[in-house]
Chain A
Amino acid sequence: MMDFLRDLLAFPFLQYALATGLLASVASGVVGSFITVRRISYIAGAIAHTVLGGMGLARYLQRVLGWEFVTPLVGAVASALLSAIIIGAVTLYGREREDTVLSAVWSIGMAVGIFFISRTPGYNDDLMSYLFGNILMVRRADLALIAGLDALVVLVSFLFYYKLEAVCFDEEFARLRGLRVELYYILLLCLTALTIVILLQVVGIVMVIALLSLPAAAAAYLTRRLWHTMIVASVLSGALMTAGLALSYKPNLPAGATIIILSGAVYLAVVGSRPLWRKRRAQPGKK
């Protein structure tokens, strides 16, 4: 632990890692809470996996065709937004079975990614870091883009907080009040997509869904208003990121996996202890 603190002061890469983790926590706490109460974390899972397609394609364009500006992060943003819009449109207007479409988008996205990565010469270590994340590899340029995305996600969420709350709570009523609920749903999926891209830097595609949903789900049990849930989820997530990073540093454990295991433990502890503090909250009302 002391090694972590000492090196944190000395090495920029560790500072970038921690900054990425804390920035990710804010967006994740806010958007994760919307996703949890709206019960669409499985949709977030599908969006996350399609991102591999965008990252793989971007890598290919960069290396083989020499399009320098198409970094994997840019590819991730583009593919996450694209799949959010496709999935949103299909779940809203499609007559197909929703789970089939999600599975299709999910696996086709991954297949496209693997295809392009295999056609790209050079080291294929990338695949592993896309899938499982490598927070210690975050560069200064990435950090700027991550901070920008984070600010965008949080700003838009705050601007439309009450609209999104109403749509998540009771879509039908919100529609009758004149809200374009389909647009807000797509907006929520796009915010989810951007949050996923931020979180990917920390834990990678495979585990991103845990980081998006577990702190928010634990926080939702502990709070009674949605914005309280968001604050608790963000703080909890920030603490988990920091703890995971610190604990994994010296023994050279994978940081992403350590963070996820901690998140899972905290979630289970909150759910498991729920009967204890639920009594306190229960009140004499009938039924």
Chain B
Amino acid sequence: MNDARIAGTAAADPAVVDFREVNYSYTGEPVLQAVSFKVLPGEFVSAVGPNGGGKTTLLRLILGTARPDSGEVRVFGGPPERARSRVGYVPQYARFDPLFPVTVLDVVRMGRVGNFAAGPYRRDDRQAAEEALETVGLAELRRRPFADLSGGQRQRVLIARALAVHPELLLLDEPTASVDRAATAKLYELLVELARRLTILLVSHDTGVVSQFVSGVLCVNRTVVKHPVSRLTGEILSELYGVDIALVRHEHEL
């Protein structure tokens, strides 16, 4: 299935994400250099690479919260700022204030907060939120305080919030960071399900695990090289990290 998608018919469609010779530096230090790649409709792509290698910057460039020094980033064929209504973004759950008094449904509804000028949410906003909660399998927990949920559940709530946007592209920033193994497996199960109808780009640490699920891998370390997943060998990974891949894998499974 995955291979078909990579090699496949999508080539005629315009790319969802298109980087053209992008350079980006932060306080004089180059973070990304001469980066060119495309993510095509329907692809499920994972960005991997060492910390500080530029993965987060990649996300920020796609979201339009960072601008390239030179080169061009296009999302759905235009500037990233204009594509935001078609992009669902999922940050890490650990970033959130555990004391914030907010229920699961309150959080998910925030995916619709840009859809009205003032006053309350509209009926279709509430409906979109309920549907998104169904999709991630947390409908029964809708009235629970967000902070009372486990890490994996909270991460799924944030995915539901992004789905409530009705996005065509889903961006996830290390969704399995500080989530236990059982919950990680369930998260990937959900993402594989979502990948049938969405383009997904995921930033991830756990290289070994991710490559079982995705159709392509972006190796990010100041440069970006895109590999179809069948070609993602230990050699490529050790080149990327500069260490033996078994060691890397070992590290992440601790």
Contacts and interface: CB of A to CB of B under 8 A. Distances in A.
Contacts of B118: 159-160, 163
Nearest to B85: A178
Contact of A178 (B114, B119, B149): B114
Interface stretch (A42-50, A165-173, A197-205): A165-173
Interface SS of chain B: mixed
Given A160-B118, A220-B99, A177 B165 contact: yes
Contacts of B145: 224, 281
B163 to A, nearest CB: 13
B178 to A, nearest CB: 9
A147 interface: no
Contact of A173 (B85, B103, B106, B110): B110
Interface in A143-195: 159-163, 165-166, 168-170, 172-179
Nearest to A36: B99
A173 B121 contact: no
Interface stretch (B27-35, B42-50, B89-97, B214-222): B89-97
A140 interface: no
Contacts of B97: 37, 39, 169
Contact of A175 (B65, B101, B153): B65
Interface footprint category on B: 35 or more
Contact of B110 (A161, A174, A220, A281): A174
B225 interface: no
User: What DSSP secondary structure best describes chain A's contact surface?
Assistant: helix
A interface residue count range (under 10 / 10 to 19 / 20 to 34 / 35 or more): 20 to 34
Given A37-B100, A37-B101, A177-B84, A162 B120 contact: yes
A282 interface: yes
Contact of A226 (B102, B151, B180): B102
A228 B111 contact: no
B87 interface: yes
Given A159-B118, A179-B113, 20 more contacts: A37-B100, A37-B101, A161-B120, A169-B97, A170-B110, A176-B87, A177-B84, A178-B84, A220-B99, A221-B99, A223-B101, A224-B103, A225-B106, A226-B106, A228-B101, A283-B144, A283-B148, A285-B150, A287-B150, A287-B152
Interface of A: 37, 39, 159-163, 165-166, 168-170, 172-179, 220-221, 223-226, 228-229, 281-283, 285-287
24 contacts: A37-B97, A37-B100, A39-B97, A165-B102, A166-B113, A169-B97, A169-B100, A169-B102, A172-B91, A173-B91, A174-B114, A176-B63, A176-B65, A177-B84, A177-B110, A178-B84, A178-B85, A224-B101, A225-B102, A225-B103, A225-B106, A226-B106, A283-B144, A286-B152
